[in-house]
Amino acid sequence: MLFDSQEKLLAAKQGDENARGELLIRFRPYLNVIAQRMLDDRIQGRLDFADVVQATFLEASRDFGAFRGETVESFLAWLRNILKHNIATAHQEHLATQKRSARREISMAAPTGDNSSGFDIASSLPSESSTPSQRVMRDEAAVVLASCLQQIPETQREAIRMRYLEGMSLKQISDKMGKSEMAVAGLLKRGLQGLRDEMKAIRSGLSSLM
């Protein structure tokens, strides 16, 4: 998947606007998952993570000429940096407004986990000690997984996100979704099977191209 994206990136850098648009669309699910993970719970009711991603896309499209990298890995890092900046700005604006306009919200408990620290999707993002080849493989895994997540039903996707990205218990997910723990377990089981099927289909598609 990333190797095909490499060709589109090179075409985009040569001025192909269609290639640039296709490249951004391809990585939208990847940025959606990152934004949803990083956005503070206290402002998710005020701001949709998809709006932050859209602003990031518009900014990336506008400033694409300033991107000096040559690889998809560096392009993903560039997109993540823009997204992180936009999320940090959203936190500053909305949480500052929240503190000024609603005292009762100041005492609300902070969200579980440190959403501003980064993104972890089954440890798929590269660490500083990763080799270049390891970073490429992890980027590819994260992009494929994020794309597959978009293909399963929303309730299953939300259950998987809360369980495996947020680390919530079945009881916490049950309370959050207003469903029984048995129903949540069923969503997780079907969602994971759906992910396996989607990833198997992608691997089969790649094999047919070789």
Q: What is the pLDDT of residue 45?
A: 66
Cα-based angle 24, 80, 140 (whole degrees, multiple of 5): 70
State the distance between the two ends of the chain, measured CA to CA, in whole angstroms. Answer: 12
Going from the N-terminus, what domains does the chain have, and what CATH number goes with each? 1-105 (1.10.1740.10), 151-210 (1.10.10.10)
Q: What is the pLDDT of residue 139?
A: 63
Q: What is the pLDDT of residue 180?
A: 93
Q: What is the pLDDT of residue 39?
A: 78
List, run by run, the mean pLDDT of 10-residue segments along the chain (210 residues): 77 91 88 82 74 90 91 90 90 66 39 36 43 56 77 88 82 91 91 83 54
Reported pTM: 0.60
**Residues listed for the chain:** 210
CB 31 within 8 A of CB 83: yes
Name the CA radius of gyration of the chain, rounded.
18
